[in-house]
Homo-oligomer: A and B are copies of this chain.
Amino acid sequence: MGSYCFGIDVGGTTVKCGLFKIDGTMVEKWEIPTRTENHGSQIVPDIAEAILTKMKELNLEKNDVEGVGIGVPGPVDEKGDVLVAVNLFWGFKELSKELTDLTGLPAKAGNDANVAALGEVWKGAAEGAGNIIMVTLGTGVGGGIIVNGKILAGHRGAGGEIGHAVIHHEETEQCNCGNHGCLEQYTSATGIVRMAKKELESSADESVLRGKEDLSAKNVLDAFKAGDPLAVRVIEGVGEDLGGALAVFSCVVDPEVIVIGGGVSRAGEPLLEIIRKYYRRFAFTACKDTPIVLASLGNDAGMYGAARLVIQK
């Protein structure tokens, strides 16, 4: 068994690379650009080269390295095949196999949000927990479910796609996924701005948000924290939608802890308090006290989780 492993987190613009000891200590991290031209055909060779170069640089032999874990933005099945990754311009790809062919190292692939959840369970906010729900509030809403310490990838790699749970059947605006009423439409950064604009239109109340150009989720969250009544109403709605949805997911998973990450979560405790209030209201009795905490690994979660993926038995 090697004493090192690599954890790779592939994003639409950069690839985050991490070298870890198998006890979870990060030895080094660096980035390379994500070259999406030619249907992203250079992405995996670039990653393989980065890994082999780093091994040479540090005089690591193949048997020093346990393997390479990799997280990508798209559904990945239990075998490590990517079904599609729109932002990388990939269709179906046998990612684990391709990475092994190019590096000579064992490789395991997972969905990026699922892998981030695995990172938080390994070395982050949910360290040591067996079952968790993680939700990532960014431009969209991602999710990762860990059951008995492992990623719930699902039959088609769509396990944990909780951002696309339809929570409002009556919604008329369309989500990017084609459905109407997805959680993402209300609780992502984009969704928060959308809900604030709707509230500004439908009410005549004074608000620091009124007339603001390029309204951002941060503007809305800052106004909420400053007590702006209109912003408070918007964020109460976000809390009801998210807390209520998490309560539903808890009936499925009964997690030990719920972890909230992503850019929106930088609003911190005041936002969490509202999510907790609605979660408690709607959760099944046995699950009402499930802790809801902030993610702690930030942008490194994907690298940690990818590394964990490949050394996990």
CA distance A169 to B248 in the complex (A): 11
- Please give me the residue from chain B that is nearest to A160 by CB atom: B252
Inter-chain contact B166/A253, CB cutoff 8 Å? no
Inter-chain contact B254/A287, CB cutoff 8 Å? no
- A167: chain B residues at CB < 8 Å are 248
Mark out the residues of chain A between 239 and 278 whose CB falls within 8 Å of any chain B CB in the assembled complex: 240, 244-245, 247-256
The secondary-structure label for the interface of chain A is loop
Residue among B145, B156, B181, B286 making CB contact with A287, cutoff 8 Å: B156
CA distance A74 to B83 in the complex (A): 39
- Contacts A147-B152, A282-B169, A286-B75; A251 near B179 (Cβ below 8 A): no
Q: Does A158 contact B (CB under 8 A)?
A: yes
Give the distance to chain B from A239, nearest Cβ to Cβ, in Å.
Answer: 12
Q: Does A130 contact B (CB under 8 A)?
A: yes
Give the distance to chain B from A111, nearest Cβ to Cβ, in Å.
Answer: 11
Inter-chain contact B286/A255, CB cutoff 8 Å? no
Give the distance to chain B from A26, nearest Cβ to Cβ, in Å.
Answer: 29
Q: Does A154 contact B (CB under 8 A)?
A: yes
Inter-chain contact B155/A256, CB cutoff 8 Å? yes
CA distance A249 to B154 in the complex (A): 12
Q: Does A162 contact B (CB under 8 A)?
A: yes
Inter-chain contact A287/B158, CB cutoff 8 Å? yes
Known A148-B150, A155-B255, A177-B284; 5 more pairs at CB < 8 Å: A147-B147, A155-B290, A156-B286, A158-B251, A161-B284
Please, could you name 7 A-B residue pairs with CB atoms under 8 Å apart, sorted by A?
A131-B154, A155-B254, A155-B290, A156-B287, A163-B251, A248-B248, A252-B253
**A residues neighboring B (CB under 8 Å):** 75, 83, 130-131, 143, 145, 147-148, 150, 152-167, 169, 177-179, 181, 240, 244-245, 247-256, 282, 284-287, 290
